[in-house]
């Protein structure tokens, strides 16, 4: 409770938490909140490209669908994709980082070198190549993004493991004959929990942004999914007349990413007060 | 007698913190006659650094001078603006020698650049052009016995030893031909041999150039070797001052006596005096030493008057009558 | 210094090779058939088979890789199926455009980010600091491709101040190719009209790419300045009367930008990533546009070459960053 109060004293972090909670709420209740839940997939050619009004607060798109409803419904996709990507990346990166940090030797070297190589290419380029090679779809976009993000978890966990590894209690555990897996997952991993959580939060923001780029380039979500990036791509040929079509999905991306970034920064400061000044 | 170069009277400085205000300095009196070296002696945390900052006008933003006078060559330093202090006083009329030569020089600039910056924007007779200033600096580096002075200006701080860096900093203090030097324990970070050499150098420079010096230290050995006069500080109060020999020979104040008695060389910590230095946040009333004083009396909870005896001053009820 | 350069360059080679292997393997093991992609959608099974043999796709993977390395060593990166030109030539056209764009973006990011960060640190915890902090957080959250479209909407379509897309007005011909950088070449040719036109085309894309950089650099500069201000030498410099403005702008800042410069190396990855979409929106004929086209068309040779080029640029930038550290800090220079 005290910790929560301390966290809430950090105004930007609290704003971030608020935005993230709001996003989760919108994602969960999407169809109930959207004024025209069917507009996710249904088109109404007669009312296409209408400017914002009381009826359609964000206007309508090229197929006459309510942009406001699609932005709301898109939240579920954006958050879902990000959650999947971060989970897969975590499932890959965390054990690899643990093993590399705990075991040492050639295996550790090999894992860390692969990590370096993947990190040596801009994430998006790699993701784009992968996504395209796997046949464009939401699933391959997710796989591609996860395949480029796991090294971040690997590095974080590796550093943490190396730090904890030298702590006395690990020697003690080895002394009483605890198995390496037990030590890694039951004793070392909990120590690395905070940096992993921070990394995951920041990763959510990063992934929402990158997934949007993939969608925009036509390598992620496919029509008629109410994807934010895709909507912006579709809007381009109706500019500058239908400015609302491009503007609002972009604002949604901005807000969601902002929320996760603020929350991530706040968590990092909270977990590691030494960094507090350096934000 | 001519007017002293620096006079501090009844100086009180408080610093606001998260847990309320702390009176770091309470009643500081200090006089530096022209041409003399005055040592300010006290334990760590007694307010020596704050005193220097107050004199140089670089107190932190959360600190305030609550009362007292600071007078340099008859000018009221408290009345000067920040810009005036920066241009006319700091580095120009008052040269400053810092405590730690390893940390005080900017690691990424050449020595010459850093020394020239001190002279920048100051009008110095005969030193208008850059090359005049360089020649002047080379002369100073020679005076502080830096080998290859012209070459030294082109080098970086990490290429010099600690003693050499302290010499460079002394040259920096002299760059604008100041009248007063303020030295903040300039030898603590150095080994004993180097320390002796630096002290000799300072003594000689002060004499040659008709300077005055305020020398802050916790080391009675250094004081005995260098200073003409001493001023002893305890917890932000001046307890005793006077000629070095007289004080070392026959200290009046119980604190000075204990300080010299139990630790002739180092006043770093008071082994043998029961109790601890009081927190400036919640100091005892009156003489701040009285809770630890073996000779305390009832009236010690009131601020003692300063008794004068020739050149000597002591702030203690024991001597109030005499 | 030279030894440092050689050593660093040699150190990069294994990771470039690793990158190449990674990309190469990826492109061969994924479900897409390179021969089918090359042959086009209307090709018969027999035609596909012919292409498979012709391009050596039927040979074992390691052999294919060795052949590719051999060709690469001779400067032959293969033919692009999309442009029908040698990939090396395509890259030769696209690379200067991207270098011009990203360099200007970085320059812009540093020129805006460093002063912002410094101001925030000097007046930390003031309303100005909070405002700058909000700006930096926002700068990192905005999607580049969306910002690009918004800028186009405002400055090109609505206000008409800046050209919508491209590198140069279509009525103009490019300056004689010397460096491939229009800004440089136009000046060399003494064509100030071309310079102005190229600059106006560069403004929006460079700014779009610079936005996250501004945020990052401002952030790290602020932290660096705050940290430096605590140092003993700053207290000393104050005590000997350095003019406050010069103290911060010169003596503190040079000690503070180390972290920010390190970030520039990392930023470059983000910059290239961002360029992929942003170049496409502004029709900027750079590596980013080329990469998207290559990837969408499963143009294998082009994809490999682009990945390699980006890897090399990345490595070069990081070496440059190390050199910059040496320039900033003499102690680092001595270790080189």
Over the stretch A86-138, which tens digit does the pLDDT of each residue have?
999 999 999 999 999 888 788 888 888 888 888 777 778 788 888 877 777 88
What distance in Å separates the CA atoms of residue B50 and residue B62, rounded to the nearest whole number? 12
Task: Please give, rounded to a whole number of angstroms, the shortest distance from the CA of A250 to a CA of chain C.
Answer: 6
Cβ atoms of B37 and B213 closer than 8 Å: yes
Q: Residue A13 half-sphere exposure, CB side, CA atoms within 13 Å?
A: 20
Cβ atoms of C121 and C221 closer than 8 Å: yes
Query: Among the listed ranges B4-18, B277-291, C223-237, which one has the minimum average pLDDT value?
Result: B277-291
Q: Give the tokens for residue A278.
A: 């350096």
- pLDDT tens profile B77-87: 999 888 888 88
Q: Do B96 and C240 touch (CB under 8 A)?
A: yes
Q: What is the mean pLDDT of residues B163-187?
A: 92
Task: Please give, rounded to a whole number of angstroms, the shortest distance from the CA of C32 to a CA of chain A.
Answer: 6
Considering only CB atoms, A116 lies closest to which of C15, C274, C295, namely C15
Which single residue is written with the structure tokens 């209307």? C42
pLDDT at residue A160, rounded to an integer: 85
Residue B322 CB: number of other CB atoms within 10 A?
A: 8
Query: Closest by alpha carbon to C81, among C300, C325, C326?
Result: C300
Cβ atoms of A122 and C273 closer than 8 Å: yes
Q: Is A37 on the interface with C (CB under 8 A)?
A: no
Q: Is the pLDDT reported for residue A29 higher than 50?
A: yes
Task: Look at domain C90-300 and name its CATH class.
Answer: mainly alpha
Residue B219 DSSP code: B
How open is the CA angle C278-C280-C281, to the nearest 5 degrees? 65
For residue B269, CA distances in Å to B49, B208, B272, B315, C70 come to 17, 35, 9, 22, 75
Chain B CB contacts of C230 below 8 Å:
none
pLDDT at residue C151, rounded to an integer: 92
Q: Is A274 on the interface with C (CB under 8 A)?
A: no
Task: Please give, rounded to a whole number of angstroms, the shortest distance from the CA of A218 to a CA of chain C.
Answer: 9
Q: Give the tokens for residue B99.
A: 């405590």
- pLDDT tens profile B257-267: 888 775 545 54
Considering only CB atoms, B108 lies closest to which of C238, C242, C329, namely C329
What is the percent of chain A with per-residue pLDDT over 70, rounded to a whole number? 95
- pLDDT tens profile B242-255: 999 899 888 889 88
Chain A CB contacts of C149 below 8 Å:
232, 235-236, 239, 246, 250
Query: Closest by alpha carbon to A123, among A97, A148, A96?
Result: A148
What distance in Å separates the CA atoms of residue B306 and residue B10, rounded to the nearest whole number? 11
Q: Is C141 on the interface with A (CB under 8 A)?
A: yes
What distance in Å separates the CA atoms of residue A189 and residue A94, rounded to the nearest whole number? 9
Q: Is A241 on the interface with C (CB under 8 A)?
A: no
Q: What is the ipTM of this complex?
A: 0.87
What distance in Å separates the CA atoms of residue A270 and residue A3, rounded to the nearest whole number? 9
Q: Do B120 and C243 touch (CB under 8 A)?
A: yes
Chain C CB contacts of B115 below 8 Å:
none
Cβ atoms of B24 and B14 closer than 8 Å: yes
Q: Do A212 and C152 touch (CB under 8 A)?
A: no
Q: Is A276 on the interface with C (CB under 8 A)?
A: no
Q: What is the mean pLDDT of residues B229-236?
A: 91
pLDDT at residue C234, rounded to an integer: 92
Cβ atoms of B24 and B16 closer than 8 Å: no
pLDDT of chain C, 336 residues: tens digit per residue? 778 888 888 888 887 888 888 878 877 766 567 677 667 667 788 888 887 777 777 778 788 888 888 888 888 888 887 788 899 999 998 999 999 999 999 999 999 999 999 999 999 888 999 899 888 989 989 988 999 999 998 898 888 888 888 888 878 888 888 888 888 888 888 888 888 888 999 999 999 999 999 999 998 899 899 989 989 999 999 998 888 889 999 999 998 888 788 777 778 877 888 888 899 899 999 998 898 888 888 788 888 888 888 888 888 888 888 888 888 888 888 877
Domain ranges of chain C: 90-300
Chain C CB contacts of B105 below 8 Å:
233, 236
pLDDT at residue B271, rounded to an integer: 55
Considering only CB atoms, A254 lies closest to which of C15, C141, C281, namely C141
Q: Is C246 on the interface with B (CB under 8 A)?
A: yes
pLDDT at residue A279, rounded to an integer: 35
What distance in Å separates the CA atoms of residue A258 and residue C140, rounded to the nearest whole number? 8
What distance in Å separates the CA atoms of residue C176 and residue C182, rounded to the nearest whole number? 9
How open is the CA angle B55-B57-B60, to the nearest 5 degrees? 115
């Amino acid at each position: 409770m005290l910790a929560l109060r301390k966290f809430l004293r950090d105004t930007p972090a609290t704003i971030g938490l608020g935005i993230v909670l709001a996003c989760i709420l919108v994602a969960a209740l999407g169809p109930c909140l959207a004024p025209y839940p069917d507009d996710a997939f249904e088109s109404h050619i007669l009312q296409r490209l209408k400017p914002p009004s009381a009826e359609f607060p964000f206007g309508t798109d090229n197929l006459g669908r309510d942009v406001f409803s699609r932005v709301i419904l898109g939240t579920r996709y954006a958050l879902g994709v990000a959650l999947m990507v971060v989970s897969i990346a975590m499932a890959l990166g965390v054990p690899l980082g643990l093993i590399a940090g705990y075991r040492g030797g050639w295996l550790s070297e090999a894992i860390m070198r692969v990590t370096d190589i993947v990190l040596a290419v801009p994430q998006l380029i790699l993701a784009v190549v992968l996504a395209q090679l796997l046949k464009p779809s939401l699933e391959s976009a997710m796989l591609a993004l996860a395949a480029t993000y796991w090294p971040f978890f690997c590095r974080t966990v590796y550093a943490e493991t190396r730090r904890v590894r030298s702590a006395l209690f690990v020697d003690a555990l080895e002394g009483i004959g605890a198995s390496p897996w037990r030590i890694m997952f039951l004793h070392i991993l909990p120590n690395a929990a905070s940096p992993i959580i921070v990394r995951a939060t920041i990763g959510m923001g990063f992934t929402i942004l990158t997934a949007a780029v993939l969608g925009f380039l036509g390598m992620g979500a496919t029509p008629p999914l109410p994807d934010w990036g895709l909507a912006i791509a579709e809007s381009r040929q109706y500019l500058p007349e239908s400015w609302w079509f491009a503007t609002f999905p972009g604002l949604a991306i901005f807000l969601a990413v902002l929320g996760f970034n603020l929350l991530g920064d706040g968590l990092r400061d909270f977990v590691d007060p030494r960094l507090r000044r350096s934000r | 007698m001519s007017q002293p170069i620096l006079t501090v009277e009844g100086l009180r400085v408080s610093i606001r913190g998260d847990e309320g205000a702390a009176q770091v300095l309470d009643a500081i009196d200090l006089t530096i006659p022209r041409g003399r070296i005055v040592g300010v002696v006290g334990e760590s945390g007694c307010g020596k650094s704050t005193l220097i900052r107050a004199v140089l006008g670089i107190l932190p933003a959360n600190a305030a001078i609550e009362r007292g006078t600071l007078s340099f060559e008859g000018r009221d330093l408290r009345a000067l603006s920040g810009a005036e202090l920066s241009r006319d006083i700091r580095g120009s009329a008052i040269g400053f020698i810092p405590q730690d030569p390893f940390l005080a020089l900017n690691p990424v600039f050449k020595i010459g650049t850093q020394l020239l910056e001190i002279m920048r924007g100051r009008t110095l007779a005969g030193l208008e052009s850059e090359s005049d200033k360089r020649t002047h600096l080379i002369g100073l580096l020679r005076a502080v016995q830096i080998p290859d002075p012209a070459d030294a200006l082109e080098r970086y701080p990490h290429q010099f030893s600690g003693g050499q860096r302290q010499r460079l900093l002394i040259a920096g203090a002299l760059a604008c031909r100041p009248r007063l030097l303020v030295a903040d324990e300039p030898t603590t970070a150095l080994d004993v041999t180097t320390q002796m050499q630096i002290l000799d150098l300072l003594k000689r420079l002060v004499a040659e150039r008709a300077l005055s010096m305020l020398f802050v230290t916790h080391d009675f050995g250094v004081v005995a070797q260098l200073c003409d006069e001493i001023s002893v500080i305890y917890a932000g109060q001046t307890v005793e001052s006077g000629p070095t020999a007289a004080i070392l020979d026959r200290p009046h104040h119980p604190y000075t006596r204990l300080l010299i008695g139990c630790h002739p060389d180092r006043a770093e910590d008071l082994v043998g005096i029961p109790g601890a230095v009081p927190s400036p946040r919640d100091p005892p009333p009156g003489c701040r030493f009285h809770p630890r004083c073996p000779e305390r009396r009832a009236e010690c909870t009131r601020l003692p008057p300063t008794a004068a005896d020739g050149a000597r001053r002591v702030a203690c009820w024991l001597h109030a009558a005499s | 210094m030279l030894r440092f350069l050689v050593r660093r360059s040699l150190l990069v080679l294994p990771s470039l090779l690793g990158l190449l292997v990674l990309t190469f393997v990826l492109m061969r093991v994924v479900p897409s058939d390179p021969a089918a992609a090359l042959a086009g959608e209307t090709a018969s099974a027999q035609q596909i088979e012919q292409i498979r043999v012709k391009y050596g796709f039927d040979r074992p993977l390691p052999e294919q890789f060795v052949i590719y390395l051999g060709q690469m060593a001779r400067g032959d990166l293969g033919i692009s199926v999309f442009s029908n030109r040698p990939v090396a030539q395509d890259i030769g056209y696209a690379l200067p455009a991207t270098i011009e764009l990203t360099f200007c973006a970085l320059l812009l990011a540093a020129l805006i980010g460093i002063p912002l960060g410094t101001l925030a640190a000097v007046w930390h915890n003031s309303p100005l600091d909070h405002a700058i902090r909000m700006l930096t957080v926002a700068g990192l959250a905005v999607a580049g491709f969306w910002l690009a479209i918004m800028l186009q909407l405002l400055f090109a379509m609505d206000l008409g101040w800046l050209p919508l897309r491209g590198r140069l007005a279509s009525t103009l011909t490019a300056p004689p190719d010397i460096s491939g950088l229009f800004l440089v070449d136009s000046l060399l040719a003494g064509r100030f009209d071309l310079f102005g036109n190229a600059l106006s085309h560069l403004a929006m894309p460079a700014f779009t790419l610079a936005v996250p950089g501004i945020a990052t650099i401002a952030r790290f500069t602020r932290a660096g300045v705050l940290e430096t201000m605590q140092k003993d030498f700053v207290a000393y410099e104050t005590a000997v009367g350095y003019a406050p403005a010069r103290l911060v702008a010169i003596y503190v800042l040079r000690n503070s930008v180390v972290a920010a410069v390190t970030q520039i190396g990392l930023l470059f990855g983000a910059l290239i990533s961002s360029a992929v979409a942003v170049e496409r929106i502004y029709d900027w004929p750079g590596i980013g546009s080329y990469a998207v086209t290559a990837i969408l068309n499963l143009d294998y040779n082009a994809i490999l070459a682009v990945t390699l080029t980006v890897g090399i640029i990345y490595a070069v930038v990081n070496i440059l960053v190390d050199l910059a550290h040496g320039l900033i800090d003499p102690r680092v220079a001595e270790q080189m």
